[in-house]
Structure 1
Amino acid sequence: MRKIQLTRDQDEWVVEYDPKARTLTVGGPAPEASRLHLWLTTPRTIIDGNGGMIVVAPSHRWTHMKQAVETDLYGDFLMKATFR
């Protein structure tokens, strides 16, 4: 199980990701928890391992999720991420 801790001001959310099952849960204050879950499971354009652009849900792979969170999450949610 991999985790991402997200913070904004005094609020905190935890994303738990199971790489084998490719499932995730988001815990924390609503309505952001459901918005985060939707954001992480909605396909978007990212860069694959070969440097090409692909459309895939960040939750498809840990590397995709990490890239999406590192590059886009702050702009959309104003949250800081810590990977565990």
Structure 2
Amino acid sequence: MEKMKDTPVPEGEEPKSDAEIVEEVLKTEVKQSTFIRNVGLKSSSNNFGKGTAAVADHVRDLEQKLERSELQAEVMQ
């Protein structure tokens, strides 16, 4: 864990939190660890696709609302 924490962070990325480092070590060192589940942390790799899709949907909705607002503003003028 010490090595992971001391590893230089590539430019533009944020350093990993202590919890992320512990999770990563547990994944590699212990095959069936229940520690992460017991402390209430969720693996980011399991939720990555779900979160990305939800954000993309939200962005699409906001873009549509913006378009409608712009069209209404044009009509009002």
Q: Name the TM-score, length of structure 2 as normaliser.
A: 0.25
Q: Which has the higher strand share?
A: 1
